[in-house]
Structure 1
Amino acid sequence: MAHAVNGVVAAGRGAKVSVETILVPDPGPGEALVKVQACGVCHTDLHYREGGINDEFPFLLGHEAAGVVEAVGEGVTDLAPGDFVILNWRAVCGSCRSCLRGRPQYCFNTHNASQPMTLADGTPLSPALGIGAFAEKTLVHSGQCTKVNPKAPAEVAGLLGCGVMAGIGAAINTGGVTRGDSVAVLGCGGVGDAAIAGARLAGARTIIAVDLDPTKLEWAQRFGATHTVNAREQDVVEAIRELTEGNGADVVIDAVGRPETFKQAFYARDHAGLAVLVGVPTPDMQLELPLIDVFSRGGAVKSSWYGDCLPSRDFPMLIDLYLQGRLDLGAFVTETIGLEDVEKAFEDMHHGRVLRSVVVL
């Protein structure tokens, strides 16, 4: 039986999104039907609408979500109706070469639901990141559901499904930030502020927030930045060195994802320091660095995909920290909205007026 529900659809490149009736099938083998309670509005959804991911329109947008399992398909033994879950877009397989080497966070064979969700006329939809959660219900692979403590409100729990996890993981998992480290974060939107929060959780001594927008720098201080640098007014590399006894930071996280910001991250790190790229570049971007500088400065350069997270490990831990009052996930939520407000939320996000808009269903 198909469930007719409302969902936000991007019909074509650059077209405004609309709320449409979509048909969600009952779960088949290995699948779960989830009643969505809340879903954050992420830049990735805007990239889908603009055709920046691929051209497989129409898209069912939304992926940063939490909700309650309504039904499970054959063979699903670790989920049950009524479970409160955060959705993730990397359901690890457990059998690829990365999983078998004990590195499931780099799984090469992640799973999505097999059955398509469709428009009322039968047109198949492409769910954003295999989730499609700007909808009253969605169909996912059971491995995309991570059970967490239901005491956490859905509007904050769902943020771990993408942006907040990406930033915290960039600091803790990829960057390996630890007690006493100095950290600089370039770009103080949702992902950058989450990286700042992660660095504070890990015990960093100095946390430097860098942005062009004074308002975003104020936001960054709420999450734990000890110093701020306005990139319109200061040389970023020199400012970071001045704040780290002339050495550069131990870890520099680029949450923007542009060649110019990554060069700043590369040169603003200490000798043998680490530069982490978590901001997502576009396919046309090119980076040029003198190879002698790569050699002579030592250290490492890493990309951080989804914060190198393992949802089954990281989501419950971070929810527990939230419930203990040690991680203020609520500070990321600027506003709560309805499905019909997603287009305006994209505009507000594009202009930097919000940290996170969250659709509440």
Structure 2
Amino acid sequence: MQQVRAVVAKSKGAPVTVETINVPDPGPGEAVVRVQACGVCHTDLHYREGGINDEFPFLLGHEAAGVVEAVGEGVENVVPGDFVVLNWRAVCGTCRACDRGEPWYCFATHNATQKMTLEDGTELSPALGIGAFAEKTLVHSGQCTKVDPEAAPEAVGLLGCGVMAGLGAAINTGNVGRGKSVAVIGCGGVGAAAVAGSRLAGAGTIIAVDIDDQKLEWARGMGATHTVNSKEQDPVEAIQALTGGFGADVVIDAVGRPETWKQAFYARDLAGTVVLVGVPTPDMKVPDLPLIDVFGRGGSLKSSWYGDCLPSRDFPMLVDLYQQGRLDLDAFVTEKVGLDDVEAAFERMHHGDVLRSVVVL
């Protein structure tokens, strides 16, 4: 067992604190990873606010990269010294989704069996089964995806959650392809990544929609061809006007509210696709839509789990594109902070001042 510093949320809504925690030696199928960088994601704030569940105290952080320090019995996919990006969907290989050749939908993903604890032995709930606002963390070995060790950890660690969610919403879930028109509603970290993914996939018209001009400027830097401030323009009318009056082939809702989902529904072309990647709260309901519109407009209404990614396939490929200069992951890193700065980073994120703050250890 080792003792390290880590960021813990002890109770609902309370400011996070930096605590000394106990990290067990890895058991069968587990790995201890020395964390080098971890992004500050909205999901961590949701945990702190009790929006995920009430299993406090939480060990926050999940969007991370680092170096494998030790592995347990039976681990074959990584060895000590490997540089890895952590993922929260370590596929089982045996569930019905994996069995039918769709492991990105795996219904029985793995986490570490042992628990990290506070010094007094209180068990911690690691955010998304990772808990990486920590000098070291214990994960299932399948949560470790080996990538090029020359890559910058503060950049490629973001593939562990938000950036992968956005890229995958466009490329994997939305099937954006050459010449297609795309609109992205909400241009924070996930939405900006959906814009970048659309450009990577060869989309023709890429429309970024937000109420914040700074976020629209970031989206333009990621590849948006047009921007719409939805405080000043009706986004459905604006998207239709920019697509010959028809609507976009793919509309990605990176906000996850009933009103933005309804905008996405009506902003797409006939037979177009809506992708919901923004995470709604449990009380939100599908907006009132005439069923004839659902039938008559055709197409697909999809939700995107983690960008429908397969980490073992997608992370190394995307890191290669980053290394080639074709995917600018550095542009997502607005600031680098320390473990003691996470609470302030939450505040900046809440106010929309950053795409990503990244804790560097």
Q: TM-score range by the shorter chain?
A: over 0.9
**Alignment partner of 1:32: what SS?**
strand
- In the alignment, what sits opposite 2:114? 115
Give the secondary-structure state (helix, strand or coil) at the position aligned to 2:265. Answer: helix
Residue of structure 2 equivalent to 1:222: 221
Find the aligned partners of 1:346 and 1:221 in 2 and give their Cα distance.
24
Q: Which residue of 1 aligns with 2:27?
A: 28
**Corresponding residue for residue 257 of structure 1:** 256
Structure 2 counterpart of 1:278: 277
Q: Show structure 1 runs of 5+ residues with no match.
A: none
Give the drift of 1:289. Answer: 1.4
Deviation string 1:191-240 (CA, Å, 9 cap, x unpaired) is 00000000000000000000001111111100000000010010110100
| Correspondence for 2:209 | 210
In the TM superposition, residue 144 of structure 1 has moved relative to its aligned partner by 0.2
**Corresponding position of 2:79:** 80
1:316 aligns with: 316
Q: Name 1:188's counterpart in structure 2.
A: 187
* CA distance in structure 1 between the aligned counterparts of 2:76 and 2:170, rounded to whole angstroms: 34
How far apart, CA to CA, are the structure 2 residues paired with 1:78 and 1:216? 39
Secondary structure of 1:93's counterpart equals coil
Residue in structure 2 matched with residue 332 of structure 1 by the alignment: 332
Q: Hey, what's the Cα distance between the residues in 1 that align with 2:167 and 2:289?
A: 27
Give the whole-Å Cα distance in 1 for the aligned partners of 2:165 and 2:218. 18
Which secondary structure state, in structure 2, belongs to the residue aligned with residue 129 of structure 1? Answer: helix
Report the residue type matching 2:320 in the other structure: D
SS where residue 314 of structure 2 aligns? Answer: helix
Question: What do residues 64-88 of structure 1 show as CA deviations (whole Å, max 9, x unaligned)?
Answer: 0000000000000121000000000
How many residue pairs align between the two structures? 360
**What does 1:112-151 align with in structure 2 at a 5 Å threshold?**
112-151=111-150
> Please, what is the CA RMSD of the aligned residues?
0.4
Q: Distance between the aligned counterparts of 1:347 and 1:291, measured in 2?
A: 41
Shift of 1:110: 0.3
Contact 2:65 2:83 in 1 (8 A): yes
1:167 is matched with 166
* Percent of aligned pairs sharing the same letter: 79
Return the offset for 1:184: 0.2
One-letter amino acid of the counterpart of residue 146, structure 2: K
Counterpart-to-counterpart distance in 2, 1:240 and 1:34: 45
> 1:234 is matched with which residue?
233
AA in 2 matched with 1:161 = G
CA distance in 2, matches of 1:94, 1:312: 12
Alpha-carbon distance in structure 1 between the residues aligned to 2:52 and 2:119: 25
User: 2: CA distance between counterparts of 1:274 and 1:79?
Assistant: 38
Amino acid at match of 2:298: G
Number of the residue aligned with 1:16: 15
Distance 1:209 1:119 in 2: 43
Find the counterpart in structure 2 of residue 355 from structure 1. Answer: 355
**AA at the equivalent of 1:334:** T
Q: What is the SS of the residue equivalent to 1:123?
A: coil
Partner SS for 2:289? coil
Q: Distance in 2 between matches of 1:78 and 1:165?
A: 21
Secondary structure (helix, strand or coil) at the match of 1:295 reads helix
Q: How does 1:279-298 map to 2 (within 5 A)?
A: 279-287=278-286, 288-298=288-298
Q: Deviations over 1:142-179 (max 9, x none)?
A: 00000000110100010000000000000000000000
Question: 1:255: Cα distance to partner?
Answer: 0.2
Match of 1:6 in 2: 5
- Partner-residue secondary structure (3-state), 1:266: helix
**Equivalent residue number for residue 346 of structure 1:** 346
Q: Deviations over 1:236-258 (max 9, x none)?
A: 10100000000100000000000
User: Displacement of 1:44 after TM fit?
Assistant: 0.1
Supply the distance in 2 between the matched residues of 1:290 and 1:132 (Cα, whole angstroms).
43
Shift in Å, 1:279: 0.1
SS at match of 2:200: helix
SS of the equivalent of 1:292 reads: helix
SS at match of 2:282: coil
**Tell me, what secondary structure is at the counterpart of 1:228?**
strand
Q: What secondary structure does 2:206 align onto?
A: strand
Q: Does the residue aligned with 2:249 lie in a helix, a strand or coil?
A: strand
Distance in 2 of aligned mates of 1:180 and 1:353 = 32
Range that drifts further, 283-292 or 140-149: 283-292
Name the SS of the counterpart of 1:252 in structure 2: strand
Does residue 199 of structure 2 align to residue 200 of structure 1?
yes
4+ residue runs over 2 A deviation: none
Give runs of aligned pairs for residues 40-55 of structure 1, distance below 5 A: 40-55=39-54
Secondary structure of 1:176's counterpart equals coil
Does the residue aligned with 2:217 lie in a helix, a strand or coil? helix
Q: Mark the runs of 5 or more structure 2 residues left unpaired by the alignment.
A: none
Aligned equivalents of 1:237 and 1:77: distance in 2?
Answer: 50
Give the whole-Å Cα distance in 2 for the aligned partners of 1:97 and 1:27: 28
